[in-house]
Amino acid sequence: MKTMKTALGALCGILTAGAVWADDKVVFGTNWLAQGGHGGFYQALADGTYEKYGLDVEIRPGGPQVNNRPMLSAGRLDFLMAGNLLLSFDNVRNGIPTTVVAAFFQKDPQALMAHAGQYEDFAALASAPTVLVSKDGQFSFWQWLVDEHDFQDEQLRPYGFNLAQFLNDEALVQQAYGTAEPIYAANQGAEVDTFLLADHGWSTYATTIETRQELVDENPDLVQRFLDASIEGWYNYLYGDRTAAYDAIIAANPEMTVAKLDKEMAQFDKLGIIDVGEALDLGIGALSAERIQAFHDLAVESGIIEAGAVDLSKVADTSFVNKGHGLDIKSALTGN
């Protein structure tokens, strides 16, 4: 009997240990194909940081035929990389129980692009004969450009995500993702000036991370571990050896190459997208209620959303970030 009890006790100990050390499965959906701007997450996956935090993370890329957004509220994703705060405002307005828990880009990479030297400064773009803007842009930042920066609807033409028209017209201005179209244009031999909207008042965060309110309420420890590991991944990616992350990105998206990724990350650095602003003191992922309020007010004043349509208390939970997590990693890697 004593032997049986001993054996059962040992078995229970093994099972208990297995339960303690089993990694929590997490499915994280991105908003597009794997690229340099997703690098910190792939770094945390490739170098074992997620595993260190007891997480078994699957990164599920978005893409032209993949819309990951409804997968979060349906429970098929645990976390979602969103574009900017307007999408999160829409969720709240439509009663979708998701919330923002971090912002990995302090500046939105959305930009306007012109041929180099064609326009003296950002203000001069309002005199361009033609500005190409996508349908989504027409119902978001374009309204702000008209309201705040004197652009005119007569300038507006649809952008079909093809550079041919821009390359053939020196006077034309078009929307651009700051780390994409300028590189593509340069590859075609066109020198360009890139005007980041964030530098002229477009104050939304970008590459925000959303999760279900249910997960925040029922498993805040999981949310915290995922964000802490992701933050560490970003510091190691920005300031350390990116080789493992590059390999993981290229494996997920074979159209990428080391040369392309290097160009993309150089553009991120040039434009000052990630480790800037609030992130310098509060850590990557920083998120403030005051800035969310300010962007909401901008969107209302520009006619992008209606006053009173969004309950801002449901947009974000800032309790998981702003703790300076990972600043020690940056200091160790940079010597600063």
Q: What is the mean pLDDT of residues 85-111?
A: 96
pLDDT in tens, 270-326: 999 999 999 999 999 999 999 999 999 999 999 999 999 999 999 999 999 999 999
Collapsing DSSP states into helix, strand and coil, what is residue 316?
strand
User: Residues with Cβ < 8 Å from 219, sequence gap 6 or more?
Assistant: none
Among residues 183, 288, 283, 287, the alpha carbon closest in space to that of 234 is found at 283
132 has pLDDT over 80: yes
User: Residues with Cβ < 8 Å from 9, sequence gap 6 or more?
Assistant: none
4 has pLDDT over 50: no
Q: What sign does the CA torsion over 255, 36, 258, 43 have?
A: negative
| Range list of H helices, the chain | 2-21, 39-46, 49-52, 69-73, 85-93, 135-138, 141-149, 164-167, 181-187, 213-218, 220-239, 243-252, 258-271, 279-282, 289-301, 327-334
Torsion angles phi and psi, residue 298, rounded to 5: -60, -45
Among residues 161, 103, 112, the alpha carbon closest in space to that of 141 is found at 112
Show the tokens assigned to 10.
């040992």
Contact 197, 108 (CB under 8 A): yes
Show the tokens assigned to 180.
């994409």
Same fold, 2-107+204-334 and 110-200: yes
Q: How far apart are CA 232 and CA 102, in angstroms?
A: 13
The HSE-up count of residue 101 (CA atoms within 13 Å, CB side) is: 27
Long-range Cβ contact pairs of 17-22 (< 8 A, separation 24 or more):
21/54
32 has pLDDT over 60: yes
Domain residues of the chain, as ranges?
2-107+204-334, 110-200
Confidence of residue 12 (pLDDT cuts 50, 70, 90): very low
Q: How far apart are CA 319 and CA 286, in angstroms?
A: 10
Looking at residue 70, its pLDDT comes to: 87
Torsion angles phi and psi, residue 69, rounded to 5: -55, -50
Percent of the chain topping pLDDT 70: 94
Q: How far apart are CA 96 and CA 305, in angstroms?
A: 17
Show the tokens assigned to 194.
């890139």
Strand 79-84 versus strand 55-60 pairing type: unpaired
Q: How far apart are CA 223 and CA 227, in angstroms?
A: 6
pLDDT in tens, 61-90: 998 887 888 899 899 999 999 989 999 999
Collapsing DSSP states into helix, strand and coil, what is residue 217?
helix
| Sheet containing 131-133: order of strands | 156-158, 131-133, 173-177, 110-115, 192-196
pLDDT in tens, 182-213: 999 999 999 999 999 999 999 999 999 999 99
Q: Which CATH superfamily is domain 110-200 in?
A: Periplasmic binding protein-like II (3.40.190.10)
β-partners of residue 130 are none
pLDDT in tens, 203-247: 999 999 999 999 999 999 999 999 999 999 999 999 999 999 999
Looking at residue 19, its pLDDT comes to: 42
Looking at residue 65, its pLDDT comes to: 80
pLDDT in tens, 171-180: 999 999 999 9
Contact 53, 171 (CB under 8 A): no
Average pLDDT over all residues of the chain:
93
Torsion angles phi and psi, residue 148, rounded to 5: -105, -25
Residue with tokens 């159209």: 255
Confidence of residue 21 (pLDDT cuts 50, 70, 90): low
47 has pLDDT over 80: yes
Contact 101, 215 (CB under 8 A): no
Looking at residue 17, its pLDDT comes to: 42
Residue with tokens 């059962």: 8
Q: Does domain 2-107+204-334 have CATH number 3.10.105.10?
A: no
